[in-house]
Amino acid sequence: MPALKNPKHEAFAQAVALGMPQGQAYMEHVSPSGCSENNAYVRASELCRAGSKVAVRISELRKKVSEKADRKFDLTRDRWLDRLEKIADKAEDAEDYSAATGALREIGKAAAYYEPEEVRHTGHIDVALPDLAAVVARVFKAKP
């Protein structure tokens, strides 16, 4: 995707892609002459809504930045995880458990250990709650 036609939106997208908070990027690049902070965050969020040209551009720019960083630092996922493991080991050896835990947390995130588990109900509701209406009626009509 080429640069956005609106130069303010393009500057906003570039700033967000490089890590600037959306509200701050909006105040600096889209409405520098005055905009309340709350309004800036709302407007920035509207610009970045899923599927918008600005959101697509931000995603594209982030990918380019990531690829460039990977090439510059010869960084692959495996190398990154290896480095985190070494950091965790050294921190633990130095009894810096906060740093060790932080490195292990990053490894866990990369391995998707922190993703919510999907729980599927396989039984029948009518077996678990034979007469939900009667239970609700009893609860709300009960007198102390």
Domain shared by 11 and 45, yes or no: yes
Domain shared by 61 and 82, yes or no: no
Q: Is residue 30 part of a domain?
A: yes
Structure tokens at 49: 């809504």
Q: Is the distance from CB of 70 to CB of 76 less than 8 angstroms?
A: yes
Q: What is the pLDDT of residues 51-64, one digit of tens each?
A: 789 999 999 998 88
Q: What is the pLDDT of residues 80-90, one digit of tens each?
A: 889 899 999 99
Domain shared by 64 and 87, yes or no: no
Q: Is residue 142 part of a domain?
A: no
Q: How far apart are CA 68 and CA 74, in angstroms?
A: 10
Percent of the chain's residues with pLDDT above 90 = 31
Domain shared by 56 and 82, yes or no: no
| Domain membership of residue 98 as a residue range | 76-110
Q: What is the pLDDT of residues 100-124, one digit of tens each?
A: 999 999 888 887 777 777 777 676 6
Q: Is residue 89 part of a domain?
A: yes
Q: Is residue 87 part of a domain?
A: yes
Domain count, the chain: 2
Domain shared by 62 and 89, yes or no: no
Q: Is residue 135 part of a domain?
A: no
Q: Is residue 138 part of a domain?
A: no
Domain shared by 28 and 56, yes or no: yes
Q: Is residue 91 part of a domain?
A: yes
Can you tell me the mean pLDDT for 93-104?
93
* Whether pLDDT at 129 is above 70: no
Q: Is the distance from CB of 48 to CB of 22 less than 8 angstroms?
A: yes
Three-class SS state of 93: helix
Domain shared by 36 and 86, yes or no: no
Residue 97: per-residue pLDDT: 93
Q: Is residue 85 part of a domain?
A: yes
pLDDT confidence tier of residue 13, bands split at 50, 70 and 90 = very high
Residue 130: per-residue pLDDT: 61
Q: 0.85 cut: is pTM over it?
A: no
Domain shared by 80 and 65, yes or no: no
